């Protein structure tokens, strides 16, 4: 590109709306702003405020990652009241391009653009070029997606892999499974691999170990595990990582993800000091006759601060390039 072309990207969650300008030639993000969603009646109003506040009204190409399914023109957020027509919003704001995607589609699209200092490899294996990748992210829930290289471009495959059946493999896990089944009926990976999931593991392990403890938030469990204040908290995080490794290994097998399996989301980066001593990688590889298969596949922790914004930018750049 002879001249840097700028666009606006956004990552919209149930609580906050993040906006950034991006230079599409370098994918460099700047002028990042975060607003409470509750401050605006509509997403269009929030975007207009961002453009006016930072003097970016001349930018007419926008990509938005949003925390809800995007299966057509009408978009309705799962955990907030914003809903809109993509075509109507594009016309209202007089945009040349308005690309709207699920938030985990954006996380998947960021993977090829991650710099070396935006990811940490755990264990062995080496990423192969032009091979499928997978990403899972534990936060409020468990997001899962794959990314396929196709004819020099990338095709994101978002799905609901967080809601398949969770497979218990040890006596402790069978106990946790029974505890969660009594409460929820169906036990999915998301019931363990999320903020509420870490809290559920902590409570189930207390019963398993015949301990009487008060409920803690995921943040409190993490703090007590990191400080060594609570052995139960450390056990809960250890179980979390063991289950995360097993599920990540399942994703690797599902689409032969020799491009790597990536862990995103807000929980794991905060608990990184406890990852190395966990069973994460061992359980990733523990796939019976296919243990050798998974040993070849690398696993990474995504440490980029704004993977959703970066992925939205990658997808927009690819879309504009045709």
Whole domain around residue 217: which residue ranges? 119-303
State the CATH number of the domain containing residue 210. Answer: 3.40.367.20
279 and 234 assigned to the same domain: yes
Regarding whether 223 and 104 lie in a shared domain, the answer is: no
Q: Are 240 and 232 in contact (CB under 8 A)?
A: no
How many Cβ atoms from other residues are within 10 Å of residue 39's Cβ? 11
Using the predicted structure, report yes or no on whether residue 203 has a pLDDT greater than 90. yes
Q: Are 29 and 6 in contact (CB under 8 A)?
A: no
What's the total number of domains in the chain?
2
Range 160-168 average pLDDT: 94
Give domain status of residue 104, yes or no: yes
Same domain, 268 and 288: yes
Task: Please give the residue that has the higher pLDDT: either 131 or 1.
Answer: 131
pLDDT at site 105: 94
Which among 37, 143, 34 has a CA at the least distance from the CA of 81? Answer: 37
Q: Are 68 and 166 within one domain?
A: no
What is the pLDDT averaged over residues 207-215? 96
User: Is 217 a domain residue?
Assistant: yes
Is beta strand 133-138 parallel, antiparallel or unpaired with respect to 261-264? parallel
Domain identity same for 196 and 63: no
* Structure-model confidence comparison of residues 13 and 40, the more confident one: 40
How far out from the chain centre does Cα 150 lie? 22
Name the band, by pLDDT with cuts 50, 70 and 90, for residue 1: very low
Q: What is the mean pLDDT of residues 35-48?
A: 97
| Mean pLDDT, residues 230-252 taken together | 98
Task: Average the pLDDT over each of 2-16, 127-141, 278-292 and give the range with the smallest value.
Answer: 2-16
Annotated binding-site members: 10-15
DSSP, residue by residue, 11-61? EE-SSEEEEEEEETTTTEEEEEEEEEGGG-SSHHHHHHHHHHHHT-TT--E
Are residues 238 and 297 located together in one domain of the fold? yes
What is the reported pLDDT for 2?
36
Q: 17: closest CA among 59, 71, 53?
A: 53
Tell me: do 157 and 191 sit in the same domain. Answer: yes
- For residue 114, being part of any structural domain is answered with no
> CATH number of the domain that 10 lies in?
3.30.420.40
Q: Are 146 and 70 found together in one domain? A: no
Please check the confidence at residue 4 and state whether its pLDDT lies above 80. no
Point out the annotated binding site for ATP.
10-15
Residues 142 and 241 in one domain: yes
pLDDT digits (tens, 9 = 90+) for 248-290: 999 999 999 999 999 999 899 999 999 999 999 999 999 999 9
Same-domain pairing of 195 and 298:
yes
Name the pTM for this structure.
0.91
Give the Å distances, CA to CA, from 320 to 11, 64, 127, 313: 19, 14, 28, 10
Mean pLDDT to the nearest integer, 156-176: 94
Query: Mean pLDDT for the chain?
Result: 95
- pLDDT tier, 78 (very low <50, low <70, confident <90, very high otherwise): confident
Question: Considering the domain boundaries, does residue 222 fall inside one?
Answer: yes
Q: Which of 13-17, 19-23, 71-75, 248-252 has the lowest mean pLDDT?
A: 13-17
| Residue 1 within any structural domain of the chain | no
For residues 105 and 124, state if they share a domain.
no
Rounded-to-integer distance, Cα 12 and Cα 17, Å: 4
- Least confident stretch, 25-29, 82-86, 159-163: 159-163
Closest CA relative to residue 68, chosen from 58, 79, 59 = 79
Average pLDDT over residues 66-80: 91
**Same domain assignment for residues 90 and 189:** no
What phi, psi does 240 have (nearest 5°)? -55, -50
233-255 average pLDDT score: 98
Percent of the chain with pLDDT over 70: 99
Domain presence at residue 259:
yes
């Amino acid at each position: 590109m002879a001249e840097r072309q700028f666009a606006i990207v956004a990552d919209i969650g149930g609580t906050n709306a993040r906006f950034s300008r991006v230079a599409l030639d370098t994918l460099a993000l700047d002028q990042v702003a975060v607003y409470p969603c509750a401050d605006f009646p509509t997403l269009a109003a929030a975007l207009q405020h961002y453009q006016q506040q930072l003097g970016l009204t001349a930018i007419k190409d926008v990509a938005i990652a949003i925390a809800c399914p995007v299966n057509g023109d009408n978009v309705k957020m799962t955990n907030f009241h914003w809903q809109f027509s993509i075509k109507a919003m594009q016309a209202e704001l007089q945009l040349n391009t308005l690309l709207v995607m699920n938030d985990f589609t954006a996380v998947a699209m960021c993977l090829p653009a991650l710099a070396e200092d935006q990811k940490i490899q755990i264990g062995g294996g080496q990423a192969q070029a032009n091979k499928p990748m997978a990403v899972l992210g534990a936060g409020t829930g468990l997001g899962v997606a794959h990314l396929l290289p196709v004819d020099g471009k990338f095709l994101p495959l978002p799905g609901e892999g967080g809601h398949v059946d969770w497979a218990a493999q040890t006596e402790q896990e069978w106990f946790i499974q029974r505890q969660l089944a009594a409460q929820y009926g169906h036990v999915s990976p998301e019931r363990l691999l999320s903020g509420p999931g870490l809290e559920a593991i902590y409570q189930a392990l207390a019963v398993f170990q015949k301990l009487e403890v008060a409920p803690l938030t995921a943040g409190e469990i993490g703090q007590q595990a990191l400080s060594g204040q609570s052995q139960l908290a450390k056990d809960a995080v250890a179980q979390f990582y063991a289950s995360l490794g097993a599920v990540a290994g399942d994703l690797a097998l599902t689409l032969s993800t020799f491009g790597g399996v990536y862990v995103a989301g807000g929980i794991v980066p905060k608990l990184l000091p406890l990852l190395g001593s966990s069973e994460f990688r061992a359980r990733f590889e523990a796939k019976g006759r296919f243990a050798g298969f998974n040993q070849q596949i690398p696993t990474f922790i995504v440490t980029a601060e704004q993977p959703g914004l970066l992925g939205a930018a990658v997808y927009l750049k690819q879309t504009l390039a045709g």
